[in-house]
Structure 1
Amino acid sequence: MGLIGTGPWATATHAPALAAHPDAELSGVWGRRPEAAAALAAAHGATAYEDVDALFAASDAVAFAVPPDVQAPLAARAARAGCHLLLDKPVATDAAAARSLAAETESAGVASVVFFTLRFAPPMADWLAERAAEGPWFTGRADWYGSFFAADGTGAFDSPWRASKGGLWDVGPHALAVLTAVLGEITSVTAAPGPADTVHLVLRHAGGASSTATLTLRAPERATGVTLEFRGARGTVSPQAFGETGWGDSGDAFRSAVSALVAAARDGRPHACDVRFGARVTEILATAEEQVRAREDGEQRNRTTPQAP
């Protein structure tokens, strides 16, 4: 497996997990900064590639740790080269680009897995599977109140794409992934803006259930936290302590995702979190973004239009 990217996630999670995985070998590293790729590859006894197509040619599969709109065209290129794909979420921030990537992947006949962290983190993955087996559920809720950005616009997660796209696109995929795991396919979304980058979603699911999500990266520090719950005939359930049965160790989750891709490549059975699911998540988020923008534009027009006496 080759690795695309040299940033914090690639360095702390992807490269160590690939280098240590019993069913995978880190075949090489490519990044937009050759010196960073060389340093990361050397740290794990791998080869640094200056030509991304050469890395594809040397790999059976490729893992991505780059911004979504850099990822999509590179992943399509890797699929055409016959590489299985381990993608980051969201797969793209443009619905057409996500659909195109899914089509390229299907046409190439390669396996794909999208790393929705909570669908692979061992404690949470088990918890979600148990809740799905207990259904049907009446409603669900997934709220992500993050405070990733300091008041001056800097912070540990202050990458340009996160700053531009906000909580809808960064933590929104996590919310949609866990709600879908228990309540089933999302068939419609209604979105409304809140303060700063906050977005409120109301979702309908194929089985008749509904759910809500609140998403932000700019909550006040004392207001941060994650809530996940499902309500139905069995009562109301949620992880007792999200930190204990939630994220877990990101390295463990990524190793599970690598194993899932290896299994999908070997047996040919699509994984539930494949690129088609990733594209559907992008479509839902893009629809929500359009609705938020339309509401904000309408509110702005109402504020600037003189009112009749």
Structure 2
Amino acid sequence: MQAGLAARAARAGCHLLLDKPLAATVEQGRAVVEAVEEASVASVVFFTARFQPEPEAWITEQAAVPGWFTGRAQWLGAVFSSESPFATPWRREKGALWDVGPHALSVLLPVLGDVQRVTAAAYGPGDTAHVVLDHTGGASSTLTLSLTAPPAASGAAVELLGEAGVAVLPEGSDGAVPALMRAADALLAAARTGRPHACDAAFGLRVTEILSAADDLLNGDVR
């Protein structure tokens, strides 16, 4: 429901604090971005790690390091393998690719660059998906995503390997609520200064485009 409401709100002159993913389709995401641009409003998409001090500082630091060869992101949840209130109809329909895939992309893209080719396969239990990305800067990365992992195996990890050695994403020291408050502050700053935030609707659209390309492959649509 978010994309349609967001476009309406932007056209009404409202600044937008959005959840990930920005939209369920590329077309819906583009409509939001067009509405934001036409109304000249600010937008921020809430990717949790991007608003936690330790992960965000790490992302900024690694983005300045040359020579990354490859990256690995593993985002595993136990939503479908335990009695979880998060096993919502939306998550059952869209799976880990759309639920936790945005988190992985929000960390990898600022460091390794945009994506020029996507490969994806559904191997493993439940909604488990494996995605391989070819980045424009020459590096590659792999994503392992699932909401069907055993509870003892759940968790998130990102690792980069390159000329500088190995770098591992640190955990945030606080939870999602403080991060959401920082996202709201970031939106206020973008509205006040007119300078787009790195996690604006345009970035959210790019994440949606990559997810959609992977989804097509997972579902056998090779358009």
Q: TM-score, normalised by structure 1?
A: 0.68
Q: Which one-letter code corresponds to 1:188 in the other structure? A: R
Query: Deviation string for 1:73-101 (max 9, x for gaps)?
Result: 00100001000101000011111111111
Query: Are 1:262 and 2:188 matched, yes or no?
Result: yes
Amino acid at match of 2:70: T
Match status 1:76 vs 2:7: yes
1:174 maps to which of 96, 103, 128: 103
The residue number in structure 2 matching 1:193 is: 122
- Structure 1 CA distance for aligned equivalents of residues 93 and 173 of structure 2: 24
Query: Which residue identity does 1:171 align to in structure 2?
Result: V
Counterpart pick for 1:126 among 28, 53, 57? 57
1:139 is matched with: 70
CA contact (8 A) 2:119 2:133 kept: yes
Aligned-pair Cα RMSD in Å? 1.7
Displacement of 1:71:
0.6
Equivalence for 2:94: 165
Give aligned pairs, total.
Answer: 221
Structure of greater Rg: 1
Q: Are the counterparts in 2 of residues 87 and 115 from structure 1 also a CA contact under 8 Å?
A: yes
Of 248, 271, 275, 2:201 maps to 275
Q: For residues 291 and 278 of structure 1, do their structure 2 counterparts lie closer, same or farther at Cα, with a shift above 3 Å needed?
A: same
SS of the residue 2:220 aligns to? helix
Displacement after TM superposition at 1:156 (Å): 2.0
With over 3 angstroms needed to count, the CA separation of the structure-2 counterparts of 1:247 and 1:107, relative to structure 1, is farther
Whether contact under 8 Å (1:192, 1:292) holds in the other structure is yes
2:213 partner amino acid? T
Equivalent-residue separation in structure 2 for 1:198 and 1:181 (angstroms): 24
Is contact 1:149-1:156 (8 Å) kept?
no
Q: CA deviation at 1:248?
A: 2.8
Q: Which has the higher contact order (CA 8 A, sep 6+)?
A: 2
Residue type at the aligned position of 1:90: P
3-state SS in 2 of match to 1:211: strand
SS of 2:192 mapped into structure 1: helix
Report how far residue 247 of structure 1 moved: 6.8
Gaps of 5+ in 2: none
Deviations 1:219-253 (A, max 9, x none): 122332222100011111113xx5xx237321221
SS in 2 for 1:182: helix
Match of 2:151 in 1: 221
Task: Indicate conservation of the 8 Å contact 2:81/2:149, yes or no.
Answer: no
Could you list the runs of 4 or more consecutive aligned residues of structure 1 that deviate by over 4 angstroms after TM superposition?
Answer: none
Displacement, 1:136?
A: 3.3
Determine the structure 2 residue equivalent to 1:94. 25
